[in-house]
A and B are shown apart, each in its own frame.
Chain A
Amino acid sequence: DIQMTQSPSTLSASVGDKVTITCRASQSISSWLAWYQQKPGKAPKLLIYKASSLESGVPSRFSGSESGTEFTLTISSLQPDDFATYYCQQYNSFPYTFGQGTKLEIK
Chain B
Amino acid sequence: QLQLQESGPGLVKPSETLSLTCTVSAGSISSSGYYWGWIRQTPGKGLEWIGNCYYSGSTYYNPSLKSRVTISVDASKNQFSLTLSSVTAADTAVYYCARLPRMLPFDYWGQGTLVTVSS
**Footprint of B on A, CB under 8 Å?**
34, 42-46, 49-50, 55, 87, 89, 91, 94-101
Which residues of A are found within 8 Å of B63, using beta-carbon distances? Answer: 95
B34 to chain A, nearest CB (A): 14
Which of B46, B49, B110 has a CB less than 8 Å from the CB of A95?
A: B49
What residues on A are CB-neighbors of B109 within 8 Å?
A: 43-45
Interface of B is mostly: loop
B11 in contact (CB, < 8 A):
no
- Measured as residues with beta carbon below 8 angstroms from the partner, the interface class of chain B is 10 to 19
10 smallest A-B Cβ distances: which pairs?
Answer: A34-B105, A43-B109, A98-B47, A96-B49, A95-B62, A91-B105, A46-B107, A100-B46, A49-B105, A43-B112
Contact A46/B111 with A95-B63, A98-B47 known, Cβ cut-off 8 Å: no
Which residues of B lie under 8 Å from residue A89 when comparing CB positions? 47, 105-106
- Give bound CA distance, A7 to B23, whole Å: 35
CA of A43 to CA of B95, assembled, Å:
10
Q: How many A-B residue pairs have CB under 8 A?
A: 46
Contact of B47 with A43 in the complex, beta carbons under 8 Å: no
| A98 & B111 in contact (Cβ 8 Å cutoff) | no
The minimal Cβ–Cβ distance linking B41 to chain A, given in whole angstroms, is 9
A52–B109 CA distance with the chains assembled, in angstroms = 21
Are the C-beta atoms of B110 and A43 separated by less than 8 Å?
yes
